[in-house]
Amino acid sequence: MSAIPQPHPSQLDTGPGPKDVVPSIAERYLVDEGVVRRLMDQLKGTCATACSFDIPELGGRGQWSPGHVTGAPGADHSLRMRIDGLCSELAALIRGMDTAAPEALAGDPHTAPVGSRFDLAAGPSWWPASFGVPASSGDQHGVRFAFFPHVKRLLIQKGAHLEAHDTADYTITGIARAQGSSALTFDSNRGPVALDQLKCVPVA
């Protein structure tokens, strides 16, 4: 009986494995991959609670902690937002959290494997650059939002998850105060509107 030929190791399907998220994050935030890796290394050393940097692409010497950016970038609001978005996302990924909100990241640190991937070019903060400048934006309870009236889109970020909603003829001005419901609701030109009333559409 002849031996059954065995496949070469390169032909074996090993299934999906962990993906390197650094290249896509670097592309989104318009920085070199090496910068992202250095920041990740720093954050891992502090359980993702803080990092210091001296990087020309990020305005020179500075420090980040949840919700705070100090140092050379301090006078540049858009750069400060970009640094905060980048470091917050990296911290959430390192901890395996589903939110990058400052109040959540400031809590007791814990670690978990990185399992998310990003594929969009970054805007001034966390939204895709192609959307431009939002008419309103903010965050509450671990959820970030940005409203772009020129394309009728409301973007929602929950940690590593980014989604888009068609706002139709609504003008979103902010997150509405909770009235005994866990549903995310926004203030608009037509009164409170629940997120599930707005059609979810592809981001790109």
What is the per-residue pLDDT for 170? 95
For 128-140, the pLDDT digits (tens) are: 777 888 888 887 7
Residue of higher predicted confidence among 97 and 91: 91
At 101, the pLDDT band (50, 70, 90 cuts) reads: low
| Structural domain spans, the chain | 22-105, 131-201
CB atoms within 10 A of CB 31: 19
User: Which residue(s) pair with 63 in the sheet?
Assistant: 52, 70
Q: Please enumerate in sequence order all residues whose Cβ is within 8 A of that of 77, keeping only pairs 6 or more positions apart, or say none.
A: none
Residue of higher predicted confidence among 133 and 107: 133
Is pLDDT of 113 > 60?
Answer: no
Q: Which of 66-75, 173-182, 184-193 has the highest mean pLDDT?
A: 184-193
What is the per-residue pLDDT for 157? 82
- Mean pLDDT of the region 171-198: 83
H or E element that contains 24: helix 22-28
At 162, the pLDDT band (50, 70, 90 cuts) reads: confident
Which of 24-28, 140-144, 148-152 is least confident? 140-144
At 126, the pLDDT band (50, 70, 90 cuts) reads: confident
Is pLDDT of 124 > 80?
Answer: no
Is pLDDT of 12 > 80?
Answer: no
What is the per-residue pLDDT for 163? 87
Q: Full-prediction pTM beyond 0.85?
A: no
Measured CA to CA, the distance from residue 150 to residue 153 in angstroms comes to 8
DSSP letter assigned to residue 31: -
